[in-house]
Structures are given as structure tokens and as C-alpha cells.
Amino acid sequence: MTTVKTRKGKHLLLTECIRRRVESKRSMGKDSTADLYQAAGHRFLEFLGEKDIYLSEITPTQVSDFQ
């Protein structure tokens, strides 16, 4: 399962967000952009220690440290 229902609504896992973005870009014929999204997402997951994370749990510090 990729989403969890909470009182605040649905929370999306990073891998699901990446998958959706990649599919969307490919459907528009933007394969190079899709490849970049996929590669960046994979690297960010490696940076996080290969564990999936909800988008709402990603902190500005994690993003800054990743850059």
C-alpha cells in the first residue's frame, strides 16, 4: 500500500510520488525529464538509507543535506 488515510487526509510515499511523476512525464513524451526524475529519486532514497518515507516527513534539512 502506498497511501495511508489519516484525519488530515492521504499521505503519499516518496516512491509513489516519483512513480507518478515519471509516468506523467513519459505520457507527455518527456522521456529525458522522466529519466532525470527517476535518477534523482533513486539517489535521494539511497541518501535516506534506502527506506521509503512519506512526503510530509521530508524535512528542509534533509533536502539541503542532499544537495
Phi, psi of 6, rounded to the nearest 5 degrees: -130, 175
Per-residue pLDDT at 2 exceeds 80: no
- pLDDT digit string (tens) for 37-51? 999 999 999 999 978
C-alpha cell at 32: 529525458
- Give one word for 50, left, alpha or beta, with left for phi > 0 and alpha for psi -120 to 50: left
3-6 vs 9-12, strand pairing mode: antiparallel
- Under the banding of pLDDT at 50, 70 and 90, the label for residue 54 is very high
* CB-based contact 62:48 (threshold 8 Å): yes
Predicted model pTM = 0.75
